[in-house]
Amino acid sequence: MAGVEAAWSDLRAITGAEHVWAATPDDAVDGVQPRMVIEPGNPDEIVRVLKTATAAGLQVIPRGGATKMDWGNPPRGGDLIVSTRRLNRVAEHAWGDMTATVEAGCTLQQLQQTLAEHGQRLALDPLWPEKATIGGILATNDSGALRIRFGSLRDLIIGITLALADGTLAKSGGKVVKNVAGYDLPKLATGSLGTLGIITQAIFRLHPIPRESRSLSFSTPDSAAMNALVLALLDSKLVPTGLQVRAAYSSLPEIDLRFEGTAAGCDVQVDQAVRLAAGSCRIEGQADVWNAHAALWSGSDPAVVCKFTLLPASLGTFFDKVREVAEQAHLRWRLVAQAVGVGWLRLEGATPDVFLSAMVELRQGLEAHGGSLAVLRGPLEVKSKIDVWGSSGDTLPVMKSVKAQFDPIGVLNPGRFLGGI
């Protein structure tokens, strides 16, 4: 493949040979072994790398902090890993305007540290902030408890720069929160798993770091009681910045609640919450409870970890369904759910086929009521037998149309997205 060999030397010429190296088994993605890893130093190099790769018929897998490389369907192919590690600056923090422009390879932790210098933050609490990069967090649409108050990435991002497979570098959105000029490509790119372009930079709206924070936890006797309390809290005048539920095969459902703001405001809300939860048992809060979902990623293997979405009023029935399915299949399970209707579930202790049938059953129930189940981590024997994302309904043709416009040859992350896109 003379064309491909020539491509490698072209790539070395773009970034310098010290930033291109042979991939190792550690770089494999779901069993697909890329040949090379390249680390461009700026957006112009990224664009030239993509153009070269496209012309040479190479397939590209973008990578940030490598924390979520196993999310998505196994790739149909992958020759070149394009790492954004060197695009890691906070390009601008306009604290008077409460916006920040960040390069895609910057870790969330580094961004937050920079923003904290002026008392601000990106109001987002996804997994592994010390390693996960802005680009990867965006590409996977990850989020945490804060979204109940501040929204998810789609509500925080106001601008994006995308490098397309054909070498186009395109900006959309801008530096102001209120902006309806043109199509909302920042939203299109969010959650797109790098299949439309490589994110090189994003602009976010920021929020002040809260003055005070208070958390409290309750134990409930069963899922119905848990759901009733969650709905009562959502229907109240309280304004929490966190409302999550934790459940497991071995324990009763527990609810965590957090308030942020002035000390007076927090205290009053805590009192009101305690009164509202009079029927439940107040318990000692767990340390680091707002990072509880991260704990789902460790335990005994084999295991699968899924992300599920559902309506808030269905939390209770879903938990009961999980318990029922898991008991029948002799699976251990743990989950963390945000009251807004998104959560993560870990299943342990079964063969691939048992995992598969359990997840298919749970997914059917969720999808029938406007929800979803996506497999984020699991053995290859499981991932290769299921579309990890679930049903596309009637949207697959238009999604494929969008992909065909942005990446007609299928250079970026082929096969990893919904419907095998």
Partner 1 sequence: MEARILDKFRAVVGRGLITEPSQLHTYECDGLTNFRVLPLAVLLPKSTAEVQDVVRICSREKIPFVARGSGTGLSGGALPIDGGIVISLARMNRILEVDLPNARVVVEPGVINADVTQRVAPHGYFYAPDPSSQSVCSIGGNVAENSGGAHCLKYGFTTTHVLALEVVLPDGSLVHLGSRAVDRPGYDLPGVFVGSEGTLGIATKVVLRIVKKPEVIQTLLAAFNSTNEAGAAVSGIIAAGMLPAAIEMMDNLAIQAAEASVHAGYPDCGGLLLVELDGPAAEVEHLMEQVDEICRQCGAWEIRVAQSEAERAVVWKGRKAAFAAMGRISPNYIVQDGVIPRTALPKVLSEIERMGAAAGLRVANVFHAGDGNLHPLVLYDVRIPGQEERAYELSVNILRLCVQCGGSITGEHGVGEEKKAMMGEMFAEPDLETMQLVRCAFDPQQLSNPGKVFPRTRLCAERTGPYQPHPLETAGVAQFF
Binding to partner 1 (CB under 8 A) within 332-361 occurs at 340-342
Name which of 405, 308, 377, 401 is nearest 74 in CA terms.
377
Check binding of 311 to partner 1 (CB under 8 A).
yes
Phi-psi region of 21 (alpha: psi -120 to 50; beta: other; left: phi over 0): beta
Stretch that binds partner 1, among 3-11, 29-37, 326-334, 393-401 (CB under 8 A): 393-401
Stretch that binds partner 1, among 168-176, 246-254, 275-283, 378-386 (CB under 8 A): 168-176
Omega before 414 within 30 of 0, i.e. cis = no
Stretch that binds partner 1, among 20-28, 83-91, 108-116, 257-265 (CB under 8 A): 257-265
Query: CB of residue 401 vs partner 1: minimum separation in angstroms?
Result: 4
Stretch that binds partner 1, among 128-136, 170-178, 216-224, 377-385 (CB under 8 A): 170-178
What are the backbone angles phi and psi of residue 46, rounded to the nearest 5°? -60, -45
Q: Which residue, 238 or 283, is less far from partner 1 as judged by CB?
A: 238
Check binding of 420 to partner 1 (CB under 8 A).
no
Q: Indicate which single residue of 4, 238, 252, 276 sits in contact with partner 1 (rule: CB under 8 A).
A: 238
Q: Which residue, 8 or 417, is less far from partner 1 as judged by CB?
A: 417
Q: How far is residue 349 from each of residues 302, 323, 330, measured CA to CA in Å?
A: 6, 14, 8
Check binding of 390 to partner 1 (CB under 8 A).
yes
Q: Indicate which single residue of 2, 180, 287, 368 sits in contact with partner 1 (rule: CB under 8 A).
A: 180
Classified as helix, coil or strand, 84 is: coil
- CA-CA distance, 219 to 253, in Å (whole number)? 6
- CA-CA distance, 70 to 383, in Å (whole number)? 10
For partner 1, the binding residues in 105-144 under the rule CB under 8 A are 119, 141, 143
Residue at token pair 């807004």 = 340
Number of residues that bind partner 1 (CB under 8 A): 89
Site string for partner 1, 88-107 (x = CB under 8 A): ------x-xxxx--------
For partner 1, the binding residues in 13-42 under the rule CB under 8 A are none
> Is residue 169 within 8 Å of 161, Cβ to Cβ?
yes
Structure tokens at 168: 């186009």
Q: Indicate which single residue of 88, 286, 357, 372 sits in contact with partner 1 (rule: CB under 8 A).
A: 372
Q: Indicate which single residue of 15, 84, 152, 220 sits in contact with partner 1 (rule: CB under 8 A).
A: 152
Check binding of 176 to partner 1 (CB under 8 A).
yes
Strand arrangement, sheet containing 332-338: 281-283, 212-219, 251-261, 242-248, 332-338, 342-348, 303-309, 372-377
Q: Indicate which single residue of 174, 285, 299, 420 sits in contact with partner 1 (rule: CB under 8 A).
A: 174
Classified as helix, coil or strand, 281 is: strand
> Is residue 165 within 8 Å of 118, Cβ to Cβ?
no
Name which of 372, 379, 317 is nearest 347 in CA terms.
379
Query: CB of residue 328 vs partner 1: minimum separation in angstroms?
Result: 25
Query: CB of residue 53 vs partner 1: minimum separation in angstroms?
Result: 18
Q: Which residue, 52 or 309, is less far from partner 1 as judged by CB?
A: 309
Q: Which residue, 135 or 349, is less far from partner 1 as judged by CB?
A: 135
Q: Indicate which single residue of 1, 2, 264, 368 sits in contact with partner 1 (rule: CB under 8 A).
A: 264
> Is residue 38 within 8 Å of 72, Cβ to Cβ?
no
Q: Which residue, 9 or 168, is less far from partner 1 as judged by CB?
A: 168
Structure tokens at 150: 């501040």
For partner 1, the binding residues in 212-231 under the rule CB under 8 A are 231
Q: Indicate which single residue of 70, 74, 114, 184 sits in contact with partner 1 (rule: CB under 8 A).
A: 184
What is the rounded end-to-end Cα distance, in angstroms, of the chain?
26
Query: CB of residue 79 vs partner 1: minimum separation in angstroms?
Result: 21
Structure tokens at 283: 């318990």
Stretch that binds partner 1, among 34-42, 108-116, 266-274, 321-329 (CB under 8 A): 266-274
Classified as helix, coil or strand, 203 is: strand
Which contiguous run of DSSP H or E holds residue 338?
Answer: strand 332-338
Check binding of 404 to partner 1 (CB under 8 A).
yes
Which contiguous run of DSSP H or E holds residue 22?
Answer: strand 20-22
Query: CB of residue 359 vs partner 1: minimum separation in angstroms?
Result: 14
Residue 211's identity, in one-letter code, is R
